Amino acid sequence: MKLTRRNLLLGAGAGLVTTTAAAQSGGHAGHAMPPAPDTTDEPARHRAGKVRTLNGWSLPHRMNGGVKEFHLVAEEFEHEFAPGSKAICWGYNGGTPGPTIEAVEGDRVRIFVTNRLKEATTIHWHGLILPSGMDGVGGLSQPKIQPGETFAYEFTLKQHGTHMYHPHADEMVQMAMGMMGLFIIHPRGGDTVDRDYALLLHNFALHPGTRRPDPAVMQDFDLWTFNSKVYPAIEPMVARTGERVRIRVGNLSMWNHPIHLHGVQFDVTGSDGGRWPASRWRKEVTEIVGVGQMRDIEFDAIAGDWAFHCHMSHHTMGPMGHEIPNTLGVDQSGVEDKIRRMLPGYMAMGQHGMSEHQEHTDSGHMPGPENTLAMMAGKGPFGNIEMGGMFTVMKVRDHQAPGDFSDPGWYVNPPGTVARRVSTDPAFGAPPRRRG
């Protein structure tokens, strides 16, 4: 039977040159390439930079005559969004998003870009102040990087802040396939945060049973992701009680996202324009990150397990068929057997809400189509968390060692600080109710 959304019931200065041209002109082709990143030691990958990229890593560089050299490779690979869902994606250096580039304001950087795709590409350095010829818009500011070619981008970093990189060639397809990354420029002299996290918001349309994202679908039936992962595959953020924490959020998805952190009133401290003066900071608990925008938030960590998520409710769920009729309040008794004749394995659900969905999928009663995730997932110390998509947890502990990013497990609440059951009688108490 063909599986569709409808019948998935619930279920720059220096000229840009190629290596050949550079060799002829005495350009950068003679420079030794930076070593390939080590992808075998996860802790070491995270230590490559000051920023911890959730489920990711920072790109190593080498110094060459006072210039920091990085090397990005545009290529195709298999990517896992979460156990049970894999797709053929495009990205950089074997992953989506690509590795985070970290440098310091004032650095001279040289970034080699090798194209191993089967179509041309470029890289646009989103938000960076640089010469026009280094801006990466194919056909406008540079020739496209053809398959097999390596180009060199070189410029001096004139700013600090949280920025991004992505293609400006066949942009809708290449970004929809996963080509993007973070470019973080630290201020000279450093700053004062103890923990520095970074993530990109994105969405992938992976139809049931398929293995390649659909670039033509912008919002419906999407996998809404933090760094191209969906909950519960998104790693938690951790901190020690009282530490100053910054979370950098960039949005290259096809929708705006109100990002909400429980437990604190955070300061919005920066954007694409860099870290703001303290006089411009503002207190929030939810901050909208628009398409193509960056936002930095900072806060003093408070002990506990705190949810961090997009506040668009359907962005914190796994794949859903939005064209399916709503069965809330519908008595489905007697129709289940009839539907099973057309759709084997169908289960009547949704009459009283969707909480039962995770119970059925976790127990194997209602397997979904091949390579498709459950709509709800994740377990906590008190039961099913019933989330997916753009959701993770900020775990703060009194005794988390400085620099320790290991998962401390679930929070042990002090006695008397957990909401508790006081009755099982639905007629309990005499609460005031609206008449009429």
- Predicted confidence (pLDDT) per residue in 268-323, tens digit: 999 988 889 999 999 999 999 999 999 999 999 999 999 999 999 889 888 766 66
**pLDDT: which is higher, 146 or 367:** 146
Residues 323-331, mean pLDDT to the nearest whole number:
69
In angstroms, the first-to-last Cα distance of the chain is 50
pLDDT tens digit string along 161-180? 999 999 999 999 999 999 99
Backbone phi, psi, residue 237, to 5°: -95, 140
Kindly report the pTM of this predicted structure: 0.85
Checking 322-330 for CB contacts under 8 A at 24+ apart, the result is 322/5, 322/220, 322/221, 323/5, 323/6, 324/5, 324/6, 324/8, 324/9, 324/10, 326/350, 327/351, 328/352, 328/353
- In angstroms, how far apart are the furthest CA atoms of the chain? 87
Residue 340: Cβ within 10 Å count: 13
Backbone phi, psi, residue 280, to 5°: -95, -5
**pLDDT: which is higher, 268 or 46:** 268
What is residue 182's predicted lDDT score, i.e. its pLDDT?
A: 97
Rounded Cα distance between 33 and 59, Å, is 13
Residue 393, token pair as written in the block: 């947890």
Omega prior to 232 cis, within 30 of 0: yes
Q: What letter does residue 100 receive in the DSSP assignment?
A: B
pLDDT tens digit string along 77-106? 999 999 989 999 999 999 999 999 999 999
Backbone phi, psi, residue 322, to 5°: -70, -15
Q: Which of 89-93, 114-118, 344-348 has the lowest mean pLDDT?
A: 344-348
Rounded Cα distance between 157 and 185, Å, is 8
Model confidence at 137: pLDDT above 90 = yes
The whole-chain average pLDDT of the chain stands at: 85
What is residue 100's predicted lDDT score, i.e. its pLDDT?
A: 98
Model confidence at 366: pLDDT above 60 = yes
* Class for the domain spanning 41-313: mainly beta
Residues 328-350, mean pLDDT to the nearest whole number:
76
Q: Report the DSSP beta bridge partners of residue 63.
A: 68
Domain ranges of the chain: 41-313
Omega prior to 97 cis, within 30 of 0: yes
Nearest by Cα to 5 from 320, 348, 224, 349: 320
DSSP conformation letters of 48-88: TSSSEETT--B---EEETTEEEEEEEEEEEEEEEETTEEEE
Residue 256: Cβ within 10 Å count: 15
**pLDDT: which is higher, 36 or 232:** 232
Count CA atoms within 13 Å of residue 381 on its CB side: 9
Residue 267: its H or E element: strand 266-271
* pLDDT category of residue 350 using cuts at 50, 70 and 90: low
Contact between 201 and 261 under an 8 Å Cβ cutoff? The reply is no
Backbone phi, psi, residue 170, to 5°: 45, 50
* pLDDT category of residue 190 using cuts at 50, 70 and 90: confident
Checking 47-51 for CB contacts under 8 A at 24+ apart, the result is 49/100, 49/102, 49/184, 50/102, 50/186, 50/196, 51/100, 51/102, 51/182, 51/184, 51/196, 51/197, 51/198, 51/248
Residue with tokens 């108490």: 429
What is residue 408's predicted lDDT score, i.e. its pLDDT?
A: 97
Residues 369-395, mean pLDDT to the nearest whole number:
87
Rounded Cα distance between 61 and 412, Å, is 41
Model confidence at 391: pLDDT above 50 = yes
Rounded Cα distance between 134 and 386, Å, is 45
What is residue 207's predicted lDDT score, i.e. its pLDDT?
A: 85
pLDDT tens digit string along 11-20? 333 333 333 3
